[in-house]
Structure 1
């Protein structure tokens, strides 16, 4: 019997209506039901009062004494209070709106109660009470599973239904992992692990069951990614670039600064991929200012030497302008034609650039989403680069790739990605990491101050500008809002212009026309504007080496990755730079963000701590579709297991055993089922 296709209505007590209710939880088959694991457990094991933690739930047993009392609040709300002796200490038990229990609470009676402990008032707000010996024998000492449910399904009904499913079908659960892996990591069998995850007899059993299912979930996920990648490489032949090594060496030697060892390493990884006939799909990640753009320029020059066009897509026009300037500077002296394409251009300018691309007269194009418009055609696109790639949807990224005949693809990000996220969200890619900053880069000094010291911040900016430097002031909003009490760019601009006069202050935000934004940025780059008040439109790509001060207002409202990006706008020249975070955080998370930013400038450490604070789905500041939702595994807690599981999956996909040995038959069946599902989705 295949539980993956057995409808949930086969479970006793689940009729058509109940099956519809379960469908709302994503449960359609018996396998779905058995694998619908609890997210926590209620612990009904009696604890020592000395172990009780303030405002955490605990189970206590003791003797009632004195008469219970009721206090009414209006006609319907009540508070029932009773005293209990626990291990020589008198505590109060409190029930809200359960006055009917009063007659069941008898002095001298031994009871077991479960609820939230208040260490200051020595009272327990009771959730569950087991008043009779029968109730205590049945419930006390158990770990009771708690499931995510909705209005249609209650936890108690789901708990009973899952127990019934195990009674009927537990013997049909098939082992999927090979014996070699079970023995290597001393993992319990699949059927036993699934039962114990739902109904653990103790903490250790539950821990071992979870360990088994976490490994299985991550191993199968990695196997799926690697299998998909293997199939794609078979089906999509790429371009085997022919690159003249002497001409490439001459180009690299004429770059006006020496490459770091990390840059050299990733360049070699990219060029090796480009020379192979399989299509390259590689993610290049590096901290702010680590020099990814010059690596991209080398890849584009190698692509040109092979006779192909290159395209670089970026999320904003400001960043496009910045990259266009840098690439023209590096590539045009080598007889390459570099053009830009963006929404802010006139119709005639767009037509001219599109004509150059179609006829092969342009070697490299840099642009925004304009690059993937249907009317844009390329003569022979050989390399596609997407910068700050997480800001584009999967469809947008693939549209650019489809403009050529299986061009090589390089994704870039200045948001350092924790290894666990890189392996899962980008597991089908190879990952290159620039983990070294160019020589001479001074770390940016970072300070956290409260709003009431704003006059001192203004004074510091005035001093820096007096020495010829420039400053950014970043605000979370463009205009004043009645809904949120946050500083806005318009108000700060008006105040700063007055407070800093005669220093020239500029304003930049996303609602401005493209030409206005460009004009402000040109004036700031030329030091005609000394202080730029802006929203996060300057978060990536803006390069003004003379700017030495970054002030972020209401900094606790920004994510760590975003704060790190903003800080990266300064410290790009030879002078010492400062980042000032102005915030009065109202939450622990906000305080922790300020603490992290003042403790480290390492983008990879910040990314790891951001992942721990926000969780995988919100790491990039919004729900990232590429990050899977795991049933059991936690990418923060189970990072090491993920790396082990991936290594095992790599070994298996590359070995012949998977395809011939009997012990791998269940995995072969699983892969075939996955292939079938994937082809149906396609």
Structure 2
């Protein structure tokens, strides 16, 4: 049950002053539907009305506050002209300008002969000094009671600043004193106020400096948000560790056979990662481990070793990929690796229908197949495994924590290995994967030659096409990546379909293929297979090839409008070439002039092939916008924390959360009530569900 102390904050926003049903709908879209969502709506700037000036000295294009006497009302002489009110302060005339102003209202608010204090942005129109639609018009008595510093909030159509400020102040007044969930040493280190004081300071800045995200109040709130997230992840991790797993121990024969038949010598990083996985699998507890590494670092080989370990213990492995094309590719690669060890591999995707599908399901349920590759459809009802011991999820960033929790429902609490070819900065890995143990592959197989990366202006497109013709004439294979599927009037970007038609005309009808996300899975796979088999020389594609279209002997990657892609995505695409022992190249075509960030991205691509360095730089350049393109799944949507600025707080929060859960796994100790309030306040459902009384 949600703690009673939080009830006021979980009321509907209609509990706030000035918010009726119509505004509640708008406010819910902007902030969320509850009082606490409004409470967490941060101001972005400050209107400072403390600056008093005279009409003569009023600066242009700045908000000013003036005291003057109302001299005359001047209605517009014809339709469309504004209504004006002339004022005088002894130094000059000021005109207040209103379009569609109601004369009766304005005469009541600004009576001739009376003194008023007005505030707004000052402009000059010809010889006139004017304020268009003043923000405030007050008597001197009203001005004495009106705050002259006002926070400015993000708004949506239909909600005006005054309504938003009133709603926020209502939310602040409903915030009760909450029990302190932070240890004293952490609060003291940052000189942080208590939560309620921090919230009040957030919404009552006394200067622009108070809006700095690194002020003690803002840091405190950011820490609370990431701490709640880390505490939930550590509760998930602790509960899983406490659950009995199925020890997957074998005699080492299948792993040995796989290693002896492998077409290459494993890297030290691969062997270290497998040692950690093997140790986890043999333990009586449930494994959940993240394997992340650079493009081409050999994740699939490590997954094959883990599958061999599971098979030695008589258990099956399911490998889940984000697309059918990648699932079938995994099946092909794993068959080559695992057949020498006597293991059978199948692919099961939505394409399999009728008797063929029934046969596959029968083999899975009967235990005559060891490794099953598919998409998330593997975990639908009606699909049965004889004994599922290991689940491998590829491209884990496309699935979230809740998916990981659901997977354990199949089999006897199968061990779970999640993999991504996106190297992840530590800050981000803690934020997204704090519930997992982590292994990283930071070495690439010997003999690989990194692609040579060049930046080329789109104006030299004809030269690039000539270069492609020469490359395919000598037997090379080329990827050509475009950012859109079809030409849009809203965009100047070349579309994949247009480029495909253009290259077919230049290079020959049967030499160029097209692959994009709107094609049916069977069409996609047919094109990918033809390209891999050498039946076409150039594959024009959208980013659908980022994960999954492997043609080991492709040596040229061309990325059109490379300035529109993120660093991590560029690195993923470049990783499609340079997988063999032949020299390869990556051409980044850009349209100038380049902005500073775009240029920095492309220069970084030219400088290095190190995915971990690129990931850190991507994190720095993109900040909290959409680091590594993870926004669609798994990356928490923080409201109070800014990952670009508060990223270092995550490690501290993670350490504290681990300490809390290790000391008190059930949260029953002296700080338990406060920690429960924290989890419920930030709606960390994974953690809340694991609390005994919740």
User: Could you tell me the TM-score, scaled by structure 1's length?
Assistant: 0.81
Residue 495 of structure 1 pairs with residue 533 of structure 2: no
Q: CA deviation at 1:553?
A: 2.5
Give the alignment of 1:294-309 within 5 angstroms.
294-309=301-316
Q: CA deviation at 1:5?
A: 1.2
Aligned to 1:52: none
- Bigger mean CA deviation after superposition, 7-16 or 351-360: 7-16
Aligned to 1:215: 223
Q: CA deviation at 1:81?
A: 13
Change (3 A) 1:368 1:19: closer
Change (3 A) 1:389 1:179: closer
Contact 2:5 2:176 in 1 (8 A): no
Residue 655 of structure 1 pairs with residue 663 of structure 2: yes
Give the alignment of 1:219-230 within 5 angstroms.
219-230=227-238
Q: CA deviation at 1:580?
A: 1.9
Aligned to 2:43: 39
Residue 389 of structure 1 pairs with residue 396 of structure 2: yes
State the alpha-carbon separation in 2 of the partners of residues 450 and 146 from structure 1.
Answer: 41
Residue 578 of structure 1 pairs with residue 585 of structure 2: yes
Q: CA deviation at 1:28?
A: 7.2
Contact 2:322 2:375 in 1 (8 A): yes
Residue 433 of structure 1 pairs with residue 440 of structure 2: yes
Residue 643 of structure 1 pairs with residue 651 of structure 2: yes
Contact 2:393 2:419 in 1 (8 A): yes
Aligned to 1:197: 202
State the alpha-carbon separation in 2 of the partners of residues 402 and 280 from structure 1.
Answer: 14
Aligned to 2:8: 6
What is the SS of the residue equivalent to 2:285? coil
Q: CA deviation at 1:638?
A: 0.9
Residue 603 of structure 1 pairs with residue 611 of structure 2: yes
Residue 76 of structure 1 pairs with residue 96 of structure 2: no
2:161 to 155, 163, 185: 155
What is the SS of the residue equivalent to 1:319? helix
* Count of aligned pairs between the two proteins: 664
What is the SS of the residue equivalent to 1:638? helix
What is the SS of the residue equivalent to 1:322? helix
Change (3 A) 1:16 1:44: closer
Residue 175 of structure 1 pairs with residue 189 of structure 2: no
Contact 1:178 1:663 in 2 (8 A): no
1:286 to 281, 293, 312: 293
What is the SS of the residue equivalent to 1:492? helix
Bigger RCO of structures 1 and 2 (CA < 8 A, at least 6 apart): 2
The one-character-per-residue Cα deviations of 1:213-238 (angstroms, maximum 9, x if unpaired) are 1112211221122123323443x432
Q: CA deviation at 1:363?
A: 1.0
What is the SS of the residue equivalent to 1:243? coil
Q: CA deviation at 1:358?
A: 1.5
Contact 1:44 1:140 in 2 (8 A): no
Contact 1:551 1:580 in 2 (8 A): yes
What is the SS of the residue equivalent to 1:197? helix
Aligned to 1:315: 322
State the alpha-carbon separation in 1 of the partners of residues 591 and 75 from structure 2.
Answer: 40
State the alpha-carbon separation in 1 of the partners of residues 679 and 390 from structure 2.
Answer: 32
What is the SS of the residue equivalent to 1:315? coil
The one-character-per-residue Cα deviations of 1:242-293 (angstroms, maximum 9, x if unpaired) are 1335763564354332333322232222222212222212222212111111
Contact 1:178 1:664 in 2 (8 A): no
What is the SS of the residue equivalent to 2:6? coil
The one-character-per-residue Cα deviations of 1:76-132 (angstroms, maximum 9, x if unpaired) are 3669999x9xxxxxxx9997859999999xxxx9999765999xxxx9997757899
Contact 2:317 2:391 in 1 (8 A): yes
Q: CA deviation at 1:370?
A: 4.9
Contact 1:3 1:29 in 2 (8 A): no
What is the SS of the residue equivalent to 2:8? coil
Contact 2:122 2:131 in 1 (8 A): yes
Residue 267 of structure 1 pairs with residue 274 of structure 2: yes
1:630 to 626, 634, 638: 638
Change (3 A) 1:662 1:479: closer
Aligned to 1:87: none
Q: CA deviation at 1:647?
A: 0.9
- Bigger mean CA deviation after superposition, 553-562 or 321-330: 553-562
What is the SS of the residue equivalent to 2:644? coil
What is the SS of the residue equivalent to 2:645? coil
Change (3 A) 1:593 1:139: farther
What is the SS of the residue equivalent to 1:6? helix
What is the SS of the residue equivalent to 1:366? strand
Q: CA deviation at 1:438?
A: 2.6
State the alpha-carbon separation in 1 of the partners of residues 453 and 76 from structure 2.
Answer: 55
State the alpha-carbon separation in 2 of the partners of residues 3 and 198 from structure 1.
Answer: 21
State the alpha-carbon separation in 2 of the partners of residues 265 and 112 from structure 1.
Answer: 71
> Aligned-pair RMSD on alpha carbons?
4.9
1:187 to 187, 192, 206: 192
State the alpha-carbon separation in 2 of the partners of residues 37 and 663 from structure 1.
Answer: 28
The one-character-per-residue Cα deviations of 1:152-183 (angstroms, maximum 9, x if unpaired) are x543244345446656x667444332323323
Contact 1:19 1:28 in 2 (8 A): no
Change (3 A) 1:357 1:662: closer
State the alpha-carbon separation in 2 of the partners of residues 348 and 602 from structure 1.
Answer: 47
State the alpha-carbon separation in 2 of the partners of residues 512 and 549 from structure 1.
Answer: 24
Aligned to 2:57: none
State the alpha-carbon separation in 2 of the partners of residues 242 and 307 from structure 1.
Answer: 9
Change (3 A) 1:272 1:155: farther
Change (3 A) 1:485 1:208: same
Contact 2:324 2:374 in 1 (8 A): yes
Residue 376 of structure 1 pairs with residue 383 of structure 2: yes
Change (3 A) 1:505 1:648: same
The one-character-per-residue Cα deviations of 1:42-68 (angstroms, maximum 9, x if unpaired) are 14177999xxxxxx986568999xx99
Contact 1:9 1:19 in 2 (8 A): no
Q: CA deviation at 1:368?
A: 3.2
The one-character-per-residue Cα deviations of 1:607-637 (angstroms, maximum 9, x if unpaired) are 4454566665744657524322223101222
Contact 2:288 2:417 in 1 (8 A): yes
